[in-house]
Each structure stands twice: as structure tokens, then as C-alpha cells.
Amino acid sequence: MPEEILDLDSTSGSGIFGLPFKESEAAVVYLPVPWEATVSYGSGASKGPSSILKASAQVDLYDVDVLRPYEAGLHMLPIPREVRSWNKTARAAALKVIRAGGNVGGSRRLRQALDTVNAMSARLNAFVRRRSAELMAAGKIVGLVGGDHSAPYGAIQAAIESNAGLGLLHIDAHHDLRRAYEGFVHSHASILYNVLSDFPGASKLVQVGIRDFSEREAEFAAMQGSRVAVFYDRDLVRAKFSGRNWAKLCDEIVAELPQSVWITFDIDGLDPRFCPNTGTPVPGGLDFNEANFLLGVLARSGRKIVGFDLNEVSPGRGSDWDANVGARLLYKLTAWTLASQGRAKLR
């Protein structure tokens, strides 16, 4: 559908990116997950989906990398009410545990609160897995929009179950390899630990931009052998400072990935000037253009991006900058994913 037929001007504001597509007409369906039960520092990630939806209206649909990616149809599902409700219950319980420093000790009250959080997380994961699997079975590309980084666990599970030998490209400031951070089994800081431990079908994890982590996490990553490849921010920066170019580094990163890839993107993998209000910002990180270039190298490599998640976008008070960047990143993730599947053409 060329722009004239879509009549984009008259439909602006109707759906994500101002597009008119219904779920049935869309190749890409965004699953919004307003969840931030276990955030440990700054809050606001549960407003990620609504703020990205709002900011998406001002993203120009013309894309310099991919020819008319919107023609495949892009649709965001309504924000699930049950998730909002579970998040509220789980967050209230989690705060009790967090205020006690994650130390439940012999307190029955705190033990109950911890059990509530873990039970709600399990419920969320089952919901996200079921909805993702339904969409994938209907031939949709799933783009999960968090939420904190624990939100996509069920979507990653569904992707692993329907794609043999799936690899994960993980862009983040953090390893997210902590076991039950603050006692929460499904903490935002534990997602990749859980994915590696729970799903033997995850054949490979490639982490990029990592720069704030514990010794135990680094040891855990190293212990996984060839199943995990880490491109620490410090090492990428040193390589660049010594004259290696980003294109070559991207080739090295992509070479670690198998044929089918899920992208799990924590916005804090970017330099915090692109996400000043994210929950756990860390200096350093990727430039927006570096991240986009890396996605392009992946899409052009002949590998298939089967789906993706974008997390930890948190709107600031009185500023839509974080949501603006989030919406633009969501569009780029979508465009490269479609191109990698031959459902949109590279320019």
C-alpha cells in the first residue's frame, strides 16, 4: 500500500505510529506489558507502553534503512487490564521487601509479601507466554513492549518453543544474570539467568553494552562457555579508541549468533542521554546510531529476527524524551525485523 492509498494524514492518531491497522491486518503485533513489580531504583517503566504509544504519533514513517516497513501492518494491542492490576498488587508487596533490604529473615509478613510477588510474576509470565504463543501461531511477529526487563520472560519462552536453536541478542547496561535478586525469582535483574536456567532451547546468549554488574554475574557468564558471549562496554570502547571500527565490531557480535534470533533490548543499554529517566541508568553505553547499525548488520547477515522486546522505557515528568527515543527504537526494531524476514525490503 503506497502512502496515498493508506491516506496516512487522515488517520493520524488512530493507532501506534498513527497507523490504521487492526490486529487482523498487522504482520507485527505489539504486546504491551505495564509491569514493574521488582524495580529496585527508579520507577516508571510500567508507563512505557502508554508513553511510547503516545510518542509514536510523531515518528515519521519514512525509514532510511527499510522501504515502507509500515505497509506490513503494525498494531499495538490494548493495555491488558489484568496486568495493570497484578502489577499494582505485586508492586505494593515488593516495596515491603525492598524496604527491608531484601532481607525477609523470620518475618511472616515479609515472607508473605515475597510469596505474593513471586506468585504474581508467575501469573504474568504465564499470561505473556500464552498471548505470545497465540500471536505467533497466527503468523504474527511479536514485539513486546515493557515494562521492566522481567516482562518479556513469557514471550522469550514462546519464541524458544517455536524456533529451534533460537539465539538471543541482548542489549543492556546489565548482565541480568542475578539469581533471585532481593529474593524475587523473576526480578528485572534476573531475566537472562532465568532464561538460561529454565530453557535449554536457548542455544546462545550474546550480550552487548554490559557495564554494571557483580563479580558473580561475570563468573556465571564465563562459566557458560560458548553458550554465552559478552561484549562488555569497556572492551568495545577500548577497541574503538584503539582504531577498530564499529562495523567490524558488529560483524564480530553478529557472527556469535545462530540463524534465528530474538532481540531483548533494555533501553539502558544506550547512553543515558537517550533514556535519562530509565530505572537504572549507567554512564557509557551505545549511541542510538551504533545500536541501529548493529541491528542493520544483523538483519543484512541473512539471519532471521523472529521477534523482539523493548523494556525499561520510563517517561520523565514534564518530558517525553525517553518515550520519543523509545518509539523511534521500536520502529527501527520493527523495520529490521520485517526486513530480515523478507516482509519489507532493504533500501
Residue 303 interacting with Mn ion (CB under 5 A): no
Instruction: Give the nearer residue to Mn ion in terms of CB position, either 149 or 332.
Output: 149
Q: What is the DSSP string of 231-254?
A: EEHHHHHHHHHTT--HHHHHHHHH
**Binding region for Mn ion (CB under 5 A) out of 45-53, 171-179, 252-260, 270-278:** 171-179
Query: Which of 172, 233, 290, 309 is close enough to bind Mn ion by CB under 5 A?
Result: 172
The residue range among 169-177, 179-187, 209-217, 236-244 that interacts with Mn ion, by the rule CB under 5 A, is 169-177
If binding means CB under 5 A, how many residues of this protein chain bind Mn ion? 5
Question: Residue 148 is placed in which grid cell?
Answer: 521492566
Residue of 65, 176, 217, 233 interacting with Mn ion (CB under 5 A): 176
Q: Which is nearer to Mn ion, 162 or 214 (CB)?
A: 214
Q: Rounded distance, CA 47 to CA 33, Å? A: 9
Of 148 and 290, CB closest to Mn ion? 148
Orientation of helix 108-137 relative to helix 153-162, angle to 10°: 40
Give which of 100, 309, 332, 281 is closest to 191, Cα–Cα.
Answer: 309
The Cα diameter of the chain in Å comes to: 66
The distance of closest approach from Cβ of residue 238 to Mn ion in the complex, given in angstroms and rounded to an integer, is 23
Runs of H (alpha helix) within 33-73: 48-56
Nearer residue to Mn ion within complex by CB, 149 or 328:
149
Contact window for Mn ion (CB under 5 A) among 9-17, 69-77, 117-125, 172-180: 172-180
Q: How far, in Å, CA of 86 to CA of 69, rounded?
A: 34
Residue placing its CB nearer to Mn ion in the complex, 59 or 228 = 228
Q: Give whichever of 40 and 301 is closer to Mn ion, judged by the CB atom.
A: 40
> All 3 cell numbers of residue 228?
554465552
Site for Mn ion in 306-335 (CB under 5 A): none
171 vs 236, beta carbon nearer Mn ion: 171
**3-state SS class at 55:** helix
CA 316 from chain centre, in angstroms, equals: 19
For 88-114, letters b (16+ CB in 10 Å) and e give eebbebbbbbbebebebeeeeebeebb
Q: Using the rule CB under 5 A, which residue among 149, 175, 204, 211 binds Mn ion? A: 149
Q: Which of 132, 153, 236 is nearest to 199 (CA)?
A: 153
Burial of 300-313, coded b for 16+ CB within 10 Å and e otherwise, reads ebebbbbbbbbbbb
Residue closer to Mn ion by CB (options 267, 344) is 267
Give the range of 23-31, 81-89, 141-149, 202-210 binding Mn ion by CB under 5 A.
Answer: 141-149
Grid cell listed for 331: 520502529
Rounded least distance, CB 189 to Mn ion, Å: 7
Interface mask toward Mn ion for 236-275; x: CB under 5 A: ------------------------------x---------
Stretch that binds Mn ion, among 18-26, 126-134, 145-153, 324-332 (CB under 5 A): 145-153
Residues that bind Mn ion (CB under 5 A): 149, 172, 174, 176, 266
